[in-house]
Structure 1
Amino acid sequence: MIQEILKEKQKLINHRLALLLKADRVEHETLYSAMNYSLLAGGKRIRPFLFLTVLDILGVDSGLYIDAACALECVHTYSLIHDDLPAMDNDDYRRGRLTNHKVYGAGMATQAGDGLLTFAFQLLSEQKQIASDIRVELISLLARAAGPEGMVGGQAHDIEAEGKHLTLSELKILDACKTGCLLSAPVSMACAVAGTALKDRVLLENFAAHLGLLFQITDDLLDEKGNLEDMGKMPGQDEKDHKSTFVTILGVEEAEKYAEEEGALAKEALAKLPFDSTILYELTDLLLHRKK
């Protein structure tokens, strides 16, 4: 069931993303081309999928909130463009094609990332079908998740941690910010739109926190065991950059066990919810066993 629903949602998201970014003048065409190059390159669309799926589970018509879901993907794509830059990970491939800076140059790629980040908040602010106070909350949630308290803070920590041997506790803090925040934000945003009861929102956010950690552990495992064809990017980047990962700290076998434990904790939170969350159980298993 999860594969069918994921494909359906991906189709909706991809269709809308393809319509969003059109240059308003000829002088901006290269910038918009660079933004679309990465935004429309495919990908799992897990963050917008999470947002729309949680809305469905909470009894809200998710079709009314596609643009808010697309805002999440714009932020995620910006982060990938910047993460690939020569001054960061200096990657050559992303989603099976050359990275943005390899095609447009580092300067234009930086602008493309900046454009996607700021456009995401423009998009959220223009969702007139959402009450103004809820719109403000969505903007705040996404800004916190993406900014210095969240992903950007985690990325900065990641830069400073290169060449250092982090403890497991330190790595969990780093990855909760770098990866986990942008996987938790879609769930919190869906709860805000739906007006979810506090006890249920806490459980869903607890689920998302464990899912985010699971996602990062499997990402580290893929960097160790994956290949360019499946992943769409070159493996072995973490080792090249001398980064501490769940694999370098725990080893492959223990990291796999740790991912399974996080999956079990995610499901444990779901089991306490008063509504059917089967699709989130299946998503947890999908991410646990992903190959890309």
Structure 2
Amino acid sequence: MASSFDQYQKRKLISSYFSVVISIGLVLFLLGCLGLLVLNAKKLADHFREQVVVTIYLNDTAKKVEVNQLQKSLAMADYTKEATYVSKEEAAQIVKSDIGEDFMEFLGTNPLQNSIDIYLKADYVTNETLDNITSELSNKAFIEDIKYDNDLVEIMNNNVKKITFWVLVLSALFTLIAVLLINSSIRLAVYSKRFIIKTMQMVGATKRFIRKPFVLKSVQLGVIGAIVALLGMGVVLYYLDRTFPELELLQQPLLISGLFVGIFLLGIFITWMSTFIATQRFLNLKTDQLYY
């Protein structure tokens, strides 16, 4: 009979530890994923900004030497990430592929123009920079027109500022929630042993002696929970890198390593602090207060 009771108590204890580890692991995993988002927020914003294209349409009378010189000068400019020459024949093939039919059969001619597509570096994708580039190039006689989506650039820059602000707010909020959730899990685990704590205290054990095993066990659970969270973060990071290789998420090993170490240490610190506070609270309670 005693053996069955001991097994029941052991299963109950393991279940309690398991729930604490899962709680810590899930909270740290969500916090770590948010950390990955914060670290890569600028890279993501830069990636979308660098998709904005400035198209320079050239006159049919433009000389090849002039076009080559313009393309080289644009490619060497500080604001340029890539400058690509697109002939009218290539442009016709792109349009044909997009609409799914040969529009030149109806028109009998190719109305498109030779052009140069400029992809800017992210820091230069602003309306002021684009206006300056347009003004600088407009005085060339063989350039017929310069087009870019002015409204898209303005909306994108405004949205990037808003998203950056809210990501920081969410980071602070999730950090607070992580601390509160882990603290609640630890307090519940300590609460279930409040009578043991008081019994040890009544037989003369010091507060430090009573607190030590609880702190060590909680730190062990925090380490396991942190490892579970890090494994989950590793899987997510690997999946995102394979799915979106253009973002180069693994090209910042120091920052990512720092985040992983930070999440690991955070799991240890929160469990240690929560256990210390919880045990201290029950150590300071009177015996009759343990029932409330």
Give TM class, smaller chain.
Answer: under 0.3
Calculate the TM-score normalised by the size of structure 2: 0.26
| Higher relative contact order (Cα pairs below 8 Å, separated by 6+ residues) | 2
Calculate the TM-score normalised by the size of structure 1: 0.26
